[in-house]
């Protein structure tokens, strides 16, 4: 069966070379060869994240790493910044783990502004903040740099960033920004099959995690870190995915180059967003449009479901709006290894189908 090319914000289209890498025969995860693979991957990831901090590999989807941050890194109280479905999920995760927390919730089409964060942190109630950098549910990119500047002023406040749909597509300088945990599942901008989440972990977070009463066995950071120092994983890792990740990191760093990759994402975003403003409108407030996906306001009242059915006949797929935004919006991902000509082809096809 011919597969549908994915223009969805996760999973994204995976190149043939990567699928082939997945078919590499298994290594034993306690072998020297495995440790070598692990070390190669984590060293390359430090380049992608602009960090000297250890980058840990979680054998889980992104949600697991989101959980790891709050169960290990909060002593007093966590501030969850909420302006979309995934940031709302992080608040829920914090609550359900019995970790003290408050949500700062605003309208989903608005960005979190640094002043809002400052006002909350000034109270001195919090020792951790969670931010979803790129809200995949709304196509909104929060002002990470400006928020990071605020959080930096508070020495005892740890900064956790979900960069799931941005890392590998947008430059994120983890050390410069002072991020204590920056996490991303690899099925989005890394353009890999799902199953792994990568996350940078600061010394401050590890120190905190050593003091916090253990709240999790599987996501226990000090224990995970013990194995990391030996280039090992504590549990049996997704080895096939790791083969793929290693090959893709070489492609990103050496074949395409990080700067070229970021520039390609910028170009694709501009093309889709100019198109969206011409024929429809864009959901998030101006100036905060995501560089990796566009959430388009369905101002023409088209049936998004039918559009996707028509697109399926041409073996491509986009995403409907998320949750309550279904049919009111639709989302086109321009992330991962999708190329400019792919995006132009998709938009031309949509114009054709809708008679624009």
Ligand X SMILES: *Cc1c(COP(=O)(O)O)cnc(C)c1O
Count residues near ligand X (CB under 6 A).
11
Q: How far is CA 137 from CA 82, 87, 165, 197, in A?
A: 12, 10, 10, 19
Q: Does 136 bind ligand X (CB under 6 A)?
A: yes
- Identify how many contiguous H helices and E strands the chain contains and give both numbers: 13, 15
- The 3 state secondary structure assigned to 113-168 is CHHHHHHHHCCCCCCEEEEECEECCCCEECCHHHHHHHHHCCCCCEEEEECCCCEC
**Beta strand pairing status for 181-185 and 140-141?**
unpaired
Q: Does 162 bind ligand X (CB under 6 A)?
A: yes
Report in angstroms how near the CB of residue 58 gets to ligand X at its nearest: 10
Crossing angle for the helix pair 32-48 and 239-250, to the nearest 10 degrees: 50
Q: Does 202 bind ligand X (CB under 6 A)?
A: no
User: Do residues 169 and 291 make contact, with C-beta atoms less than 8 angstroms apart?
Assistant: yes
Q: Does 164 bind ligand X (CB under 6 A)?
A: yes
| Structure token pair of residue 253 | 């760093």
Q: Does 339 bind ligand X (CB under 6 A)?
A: no
Report in angstroms how near the CB of residue 258 gets to ligand X at its nearest: 21
Quick one: 86 or 288, whose CB is closer to ligand X? 86
Q: Does 61 bind ligand X (CB under 6 A)?
A: yes
Q: Contact region for ligand X (CB under 6 A) — 20-28, 157-165, 261-269, 317-325?
A: 157-165
Q: Contact region for ligand X (CB under 6 A) — 58-66, 93-101, 226-234, 328-336?
A: 58-66
Task: Please pick, from the candidates 165, 200, 241, 292, the single residue that binds ligand X as defined by CB under 6 A.
Answer: 165
For residue 76, what are the β-bridge partners? none
Report in angstroms how near the CB of residue 130 gets to ligand X at its nearest: 11
Quick one: 54 or 193, whose CB is closer to ligand X? 193
Q: Does 10 bind ligand X (CB under 6 A)?
A: yes
Q: Does 69 bind ligand X (CB under 6 A)?
A: no
Q: How far is CA 191 from CA 8, 99, 120, 141, 159, in A?
A: 11, 33, 36, 19, 26
Q: Does 329 bind ligand X (CB under 6 A)?
A: no
Q: Does 273 bind ligand X (CB under 6 A)?
A: no
Q: Alpha carbon 6 to chain centroid distance?
A: 17
**32: three-class secondary structure by DSSP:** helix
Give residues in contact with ligand X (CB under 6 A): 10, 61-63, 86, 132, 136, 162, 164-165, 185
């Amino acid at each position: 069966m011919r597969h549908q090319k994915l223009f969805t914000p996760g999973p994204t289209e995976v190149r043939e070379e990567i699928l082939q890498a997945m078919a590499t025969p298994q290594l034993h995860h306690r072998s020297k060869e495995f440790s070598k693979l692990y070390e190669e991957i984590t060293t390359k990831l430090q380049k992608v994240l602009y960090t000297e901090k250890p980058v840990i590999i979680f054998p889980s989807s992104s949600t697991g790493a989101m959980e790891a941050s709050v169960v290990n890194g909060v002593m007093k109280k966590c501030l969850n910044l909420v302006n979309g479905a995934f940031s709302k999920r992080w608040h829920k995760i914090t609550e359900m783990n019995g970790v003290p927390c408050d949500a700062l919730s605003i309208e989903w089409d608005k960005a979190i502004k640094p002043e809002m964060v400052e006002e909350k942190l000034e109270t001195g109630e919090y020792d951790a903040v969670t931010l979803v950098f790129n809200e995949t549910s709304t196509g909104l990119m929060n002002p990470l740099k400006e928020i990071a500047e605020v959080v930096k002023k508070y020495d005892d406040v740890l900064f956790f960033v979900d960069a799931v749909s941005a890392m590998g597509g947008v430059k994120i300088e983890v050390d410069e920004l002072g991020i204590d945990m920056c996490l991303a599942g690899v099925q989005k901008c890394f353009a890999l099959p799902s199953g792994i989440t990568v996350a940078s972990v600061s010394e401050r977070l590890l120190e905190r995690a050593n003091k916090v009463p253990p709240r999790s066995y599987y996501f226990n950071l000090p224990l995970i870190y013990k194995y990391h120092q030996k280039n090992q994983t504590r549990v049996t890792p997704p080895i096939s995915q790791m083969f793929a990740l290693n090959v893709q990191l070489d492609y990103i760093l050496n074949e395409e180059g990080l700067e070229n990759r970021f520039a390609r994402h910028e170009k694709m975003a501009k093309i889709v967003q100019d198109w969206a403003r011409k024929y429809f409108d864009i959901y998030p407030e101006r100036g905060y449009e995501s560089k990796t996906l566009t959430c388009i306001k369905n101002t023409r009242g088209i049936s998004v479901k039918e559009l996707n059915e028509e697109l399926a006949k041409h073996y491509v797929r986009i995403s409907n709006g998320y949750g309550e935004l279904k049919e009111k919006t639709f989302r086109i991902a321009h992330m991962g290894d999708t190329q400019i000509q792919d995006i132009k082809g998709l938009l031309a096809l949509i114009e054709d189908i809708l008679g624009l």
